Amino acid sequence: MIPKMIYLVFGFIVVEGCTPLKHDRDSSEKDSDASADTITKNTPATDDAGGREGTPPKDDAGGDNAGGYDGSLSTDDAACEALTLYADQDGDGRGNPNVVLKSCEQIADYVEQAGDCNDNCANCYIDNTEECDGLDNDCDGETDELEPRACGSQTGNCEEGVQTCEAGQWSNCVGAVLPRTEICDTEGKDEDCDGISNEGCTCSDGETLPCGVTDDGPCELGTQTCTNGAWGDCVGNVDPGPKELCDKAGVDENCDNYANEGCICIEGDTEDCGDTNIGECEYGTKTCTMDGQWGPCIGEKKSKTETCNGKDDDCDGQTDENAPCPTGMYCSAGACKKYCGNGTIDTGEECDDGNPTDDDLCTTECKRALYGYCENDGDCPGTLTCLPLPFNSCTKPCQVDSECPAPYYWSSSVRSTCSGIGCVLTCGNASCPPGMVCEAVFPFCSWP
């Protein structure tokens, strides 16, 4: 198919290929070109003057539209229904009313709808909505004729402001209360304007809460205060101590409503300690500590080995019993003393008095030292008592013979026997110590 030809007639563009235009011609023109009464779709026709068929004819004066041509297509013998098209260079679907053509087919960059007042602006055409862009979008001859608009938000604590169109741009939002960081307040305000109050908060600022372990006994509860949505430290609380103290004040340090429980003693208390306070021994003193336990025993004097000092060193209630003395000496009245003689009865001696004189009957001191002679209890060592005349011997109470020891002052066959008056020296078929006689009635040794 031969392309259609386009002509501009009186400001309009016409496409060749549709129904040919009809013009009034003189008879000579018709006769000279009878085969060109119409323009075919295949070949563009020319008139006698070499002009393109479909253009307005020339009148005698050389002017266009001499035959009254109005620029429209003829409908006689129409081959198609022509479209009126408008140039649309900006592609907004609205054409420029000043650039028009007619065609049997749609042509690129042309549209059937006019109304474009600015074919270099894709957003400028009649009945369009005016925008703030510095252009006449609605083709009313005015630019950016817009009312101020609301901006911001009305959610929560936010408030709307106002924007105005200035030089093709919306201004900053004026007068608005904008979102800010959420505050954990007791009023429940929605500062960030998201429709939720105090989200992410464990508490509200200024809120208080009791804290601590207990308020029993001397313990006290404290207070926590909410700051920035979080609980602060516990302030003012008195919590239980790590353990109960055994104090005289009876304070319940662990706050269990019991004071000094589990205490063996109370702090500061004292008590005697040690084995005994008999003889030279003495009790010590122990003091109770804060944890209710007795401290060490301080100041105790313990028993010692008995010595010849007139004291009860071994704390058994006896003084100088079996106290050792050097050879040739004996313990008497708290001191080691020499025997009267040399420890044996030599020839000519009545007793070991250290001299060869006979019939001196031994001195009282010798008798006491060697044979336990006594005149009163004070002459006897330890707890022994003095038997009266005729015995004048030191003795001790007894129940059986085994309770009576051998005389410490004699090593012969004489033995100490238990009698009704205590331990006495028996003679029988044995001899008595020198200076003593064997009683005829009772086989006891006695001093004459």
d(CA 343, CA 330): 11
Record the tokens describing residue 420, joined without a space.
């009704």
Domain that holds residue 396: 339-448
Look up residue 284 and give its two tokens.
């010590």
Identify whether residues 350 and 438 lie together within a single domain: yes
* 266 and 347 both lie in a single domain: no
Q: Is there a contact between 371 and 407 (Cβ–Cβ < 8 Å)? A: yes
Burial class (CB in 10 A: 0-12, 13-18, 19+), 278: middle
Domain contains 369 = yes
Q: Are 277 and 343 members of one domain?
A: no
Q: How many helices (H) and strands (E) does the chain have?
A: 2, 22
Same domain, 278 and 346: no
- Please classify residue 329 by burial: count the beta carbons closer than 10 Å to its beta carbon, then call 0-12 exposed, 13-18 middle and 19+ buried: middle
Q: Is the pLDDT of residue 205 over 60?
A: yes
Is pLDDT at 412 greater than 60 in this prediction? no
DSSP state of 47: -
How far apart, in Å, are the Cα atoms of 1 and each of 40, 43, 85, 344, 360? 11, 9, 22, 181, 192
Residue 216 maps to a domain:
no
**8 Å CB contact between 370 and 351:** yes
Is residue 44 within 8 Å of 90, Cβ to Cβ? no
Report if residue 92 sits inside a domain.
no
Would you say residue 361 has pLDDT above 60?
no
Q: What mean pLDDT do residues 178-205 have?
A: 85
Task: Judge whether 372 lies within some domain.
Answer: yes
For the chain, what is the domain count?
2
Per the CB < 8 A criterion, the answer to whether 284 and 299 are in contact is yes
Q: Of 250, 277, 302, which one is at a domain's C-terminal end?
A: 302
Residue-wise pLDDT for 63-72, tens only, equals: 333 333 343 4
**Cα 42 from chain centre:** 97
User: Does any domain span residue 434?
Assistant: yes
Highest mean pLDDT out of 267-271, 350-354, 362-366: 267-271
- Residue 317, domain member (yes or no): no
Residues 293 and 353 placed together within one structural domain of the fold? no
- Alpha carbons 153 and 221: distance in angstroms, whole number: 46
pLDDT at residue 70 in the model? 40
Do 344 and 415 fall within a single domain? Answer: yes
Query: Is residue 444 situated within a structural domain?
Result: yes
> Confidence band (pLDDT; 50, 70, 90) for 49?
very low
Q: Tell whether 372 and 424 lie within a shared domain.
A: yes
* Same domain assignment for residues 257 and 356: no
pTM of the model: 0.34
Is 199 inside any structural domain?
no
Q: Please, what is the average pLDDT of the chain?
A: 75
